Structure 1
Amino acid sequence: MGRKSVGIVMFDDIEVLDFCGPFEVFSVARLNEENRREEPSPFQVKLIAEHGGQVCTSGGMRVNVDYGFENCPPFDILCVPGGWGTRREVSNPAMLAWLGARGKEVELVTSVCTGAMLLGFAGLLDGHRATTHWRSLDWMAQSFPQTTVVRDLHVVDDGALISSAGISAGIDMALTVVARYCGASVARATARHMEYPYPETSERRITF
């Protein structure tokens, strides 16, 4: 396959691991482990924010992004992380309009944590099964009655939409994407390279 382009949406007060987890998975994946240093990842990852420039994460890390909404190219895969900043962004018309438009153009839409809430308010969750951070499951159910809220899975693969639970679940989600495009053996090798336990099941890892 040709390289797949991944656009990760950024905003102020984003949760660091929400975007860094998927970024790491996509950037370290290799089709051939023996040529890890010589060959690039089958995924090319870029960061996008509404105005470009820089965003400040929930923990204070400052991150430079690659594109703003107005100048970013098309992507194959869209990844929407979460974090406290989603509470503001769900009322941002520019964010919701951009997500709504781009979400209909890409091959695959993915979310981590409360990034799924942004997808919902952008009109991209209706008719789908989805999940989010356990603290926000009721918020999702109340906000999107046309969405089937899945409470017992860490990652919900619903075809053109893959959503995941809170924070660290984004790693599992990204490994699911790698397995879809490159095969389970590549996904397992990616997890092993990261010294991360490969998710043998999609079941949620905590009880509440």
Structure 2
Amino acid sequence: MKPDTTTPLTFGMLLFDEVEVLDLGGPFEVFSTAGRLARTEDGRPLLRVLTVAATGRPVRARGGLRIVADHTLDEDPPFDVLVVPGGVTTAVETDPEVLDWLSRRRKSSALTFSICTGAFLLAAVGALDGRPATTHWEDQEELARRWPDVRLRTDVRWVDDGDLVTSAGISAGIDASLYIVGRIFGEGLARRTARQMDYAWTAEGGAQDGGSGRP
């Protein structure tokens, strides 16, 4: 499939207190860098990233980094790809406002991508029921115990199941982000992005259970 270079693709990333900094920052860097390198035919970034949080107050990430999201859940901005980073997700798993938003935006997004324990939030809204998925090695046993309907993959760093991509932690999230860029826009852009980031991309290590091309 020839990549679509006429329409920008927007990635919407969920922020929450105790989000893992690199689970958020790694994919953000990949997608925003790819957007700097690739332009639409009328000169716009081919990829753009926006962030969404429950409220307009600063989110406190793990380690104390404070981040202000671009939008709130109430603003509900349009985007094409839902990105759910990991971190300490306990409080978010019981927040009905966030879960309702996730459930709705998961269904309306062309592609959903989780990093690390972001898979727990997708599992909490039933998005992983009967689907192959993975998470950080340290959390795989808990994911399997709490959501036995998930077809847990413990042997790969990310899983592509068509409209759903899940990855393990931090570096696997960056590698999976580059994989997504390559899947949608071609491996050439993924490799240019990794080189621009001076990042040694581990392109192997994932499992493709279904789907390819632009979402």
TM-score (norm 1): 0.90
Contact 2:8 2:44 in 1 (8 A): no
**1:141 corresponds to 2:183:** no
Q: Which letter maps to 2:67?
A: V
Instruction: List 4+ stretches of structure 1 deviating above 4 A.
Output: 30-33
Specify whether residues 45 and 32 from structure 1 end up closer, same or farther in structure 2 by C-alpha distance, changes over 3 A only: closer
Kindly report which structure 2 residues correspond to 1:12-161, keeping only aligned pairs within 5 A, or say none: 12-30=17-35, 41-84=45-88, 86-161=89-164
TM-superposition CA deviations, 1:34-60 (whole Å, max 9, x none): x8xxx5531110010011332011111
3-state SS of paired residue (1:78): strand
* 1:152 Cα offset (Å): 1.1
Specify whether residues 62 and 30 from structure 1 end up closer, same or farther in structure 2 by C-alpha distance, changes over 3 A only: closer
- How many positions carry a matched residue from both structures? 200
Contact 2:35 2:48 in 1 (8 A): no
* 1:31 Cα offset (Å): 8.2
- Structure 2: any 5+ residue segments left out of the alignment? 208-215
* 1:30 Cα offset (Å): 4.9
Work out the CA distance in 1 between the residues paired with 2:128 and 2:134: 10
Work out the CA distance in 2 between the residues paired with 1:56 and 1:31: 28
Contact 1:31 1:186 in 2 (8 A): no
Specify whether residues 66 and 193 from structure 1 end up closer, same or farther in structure 2 by C-alpha distance, changes over 3 A only: same
3-state SS of paired residue (1:127): coil
Work out the CA distance in 2 between the residues paired with 1:78 and 1:43: 13
Work out the CA distance in 1 between the residues paired with 2:205 and 2:194: 15
Contact 1:4 1:43 in 2 (8 A): yes
Specify whether residues 146 and 64 from structure 1 end up closer, same or farther in structure 2 by C-alpha distance, changes over 3 A only: same
Superposition RMSD in Å: 1.9
Partner of 2:177: 174
Work out the CA distance in 2 between the residues paired with 1:166 and 1:203: 13
Contact 2:134 2:154 in 1 (8 A): yes
Q: Which moved more, 1:191-200 or 1:112-121?
A: 191-200
Partner of 2:203: 200
TM-superposition CA deviations, 1:163-189 (whole Å, max 9, x none): 000122211121111011110111011
- Structure 1: any 5+ residue segments left out of the alignment? none
Contact 1:131 1:155 in 2 (8 A): yes
Contact 2:117 2:139 in 1 (8 A): yes
Specify whether residues 49 and 137 from structure 1 end up closer, same or farther in structure 2 by C-alpha distance, changes over 3 A only: same
Q: Which letter maps to 2:202?
A: P
Work out the CA distance in 2 between the residues paired with 1:92 and 1:30: 33
**1:3 corresponds to 2:32:** no
Specify whether residues 200 and 168 from structure 1 end up closer, same or farther in structure 2 by C-alpha distance, changes over 3 A only: closer
